[in-house]
Copies of this chain bind each other. A is one copy, B any other.
Amino acid sequence: MKRIGVLTSGGDAPGMNAAIRAVVRKAIYEGLEVVGIYHGYQGLIEGNMEELDLGSVGDIIQRGGTKLLSARCPEFRTIEGQQKAIEQLRANQIDGLVIIGGDGSYRGSMTLTKNGFPCVGIPGTIDNDIPGTDYTLGFDTALNTVIDCIDKIRDTATSHDRTFIIEVMGRDAGDLALWAGLAGGAETIIIPEVDYNIEEVVERLKSGTARGKKHSIIIVAEGVMSGSEFAAKLMEHASIETRVSVLGHIQRGGSPTGRDRVLASMFGARAVEVLLTGQGGRAVGIQNHQVVDYDMNEAFEKNEVFDSIMYQLSKELSI
């Protein structure tokens, strides 16, 4: 392993730049050369890359987005596309790759690993939905962005005695909704992992009102339904009027939190260490407070872990 590549793929997440920095600096510290590949697998296929030195990752640890840019790449799913990527790796004398992204990005890398270009994955997505790691890069930042929004919306909810529905990101995983809801003091949290019961939601709202609670925040993960669909249900079932706020893409941006920067630094360094052993098909993560690497295939399994204690707690504390 003399020369490695690094790319970001899939949706951008805060902390990706900090991870790129860590990969580059750790690699150089270990005597490797590093090539930055732009626009994810698309850039790999097109040979859109350049060598990175210590200075090229200066002043990026605090930036949102990804300096290496990202893109979807349908072509890479074809055998022809993969062949082109392999040729580029050969032509550019790249011996291994660090892939920063979600599980889709991981999958793409398996072909490369099988073809003799070991790849190591770093989990970069605000959704916190990659099995094998307790946290993904960007989750902590997105969490803080969402609670900042909840705090702002609560100002108006309180001032006007209103119930707000806040739709947050999370197609398959409700982590962001659950954490943000608990941290934001939301009265009700609707997530993909738990079937909701509209009657129970209505009951909760009404009993709150009966006790003198005049405003309420409901968090809905987009994977369950949209905020406005949920609003329609509340109106239909119980004539409860609500306002809807869809947080949207602001959840994906912003300067990473301290925690995300530290995680990114540790993940980046570990990824380089794994590559140095010649291994591919591995993913790095944090498990029980320890940075680990594990078989990437585990990341494709269905995530069975759901923090039901936390969900229950959110209910108990928002009575």
Q: Give chain A's interface residues, CB within 8 Å of chain B.
A: 8, 11-12, 14, 21-22, 25-26, 28-29, 39, 54-55, 59, 61-66, 69-71, 134, 140, 143-147, 149, 151-156, 158-161, 164, 179-180, 182-185, 211-212, 243-250, 252-255, 257-259, 261-262, 265-266, 269, 287-290, 310, 313, 316-319
Contact = CB atoms under 8 A, between A and B. Distances in A.
A145 B160 CA distance: 20
B159 A70 contact: yes
Contacts of A262: 179, 182-183, 310
Q: Is the interface of A mostly helix, strand, loop or mixed?
A: helix
Nearest to A144: B258
Nearest to A313: B269
5 contacts: A25-B317, A65-B159, A69-B159, A71-B160, A259-B259
A159 B22 CA distance: 19
B248 A246 contact: yes
Contact of A160 (B12, B155, B258): B12
B65 A22 contact: no
Given A61-B183, A159-B69, A316 B254 contact: no
A60 to B, nearest CB: 9
The 5 closest A-B pairs by CB, nearest first: A152-B253, A65-B155, A64-B155, A155-B253, A183-B261
A257 B255 contact: no
A317 B26 contact: yes
A134 B258 contact: no
**Which of A14, A26, A59, A261 has most B Cβ within 10 Å?**
A261
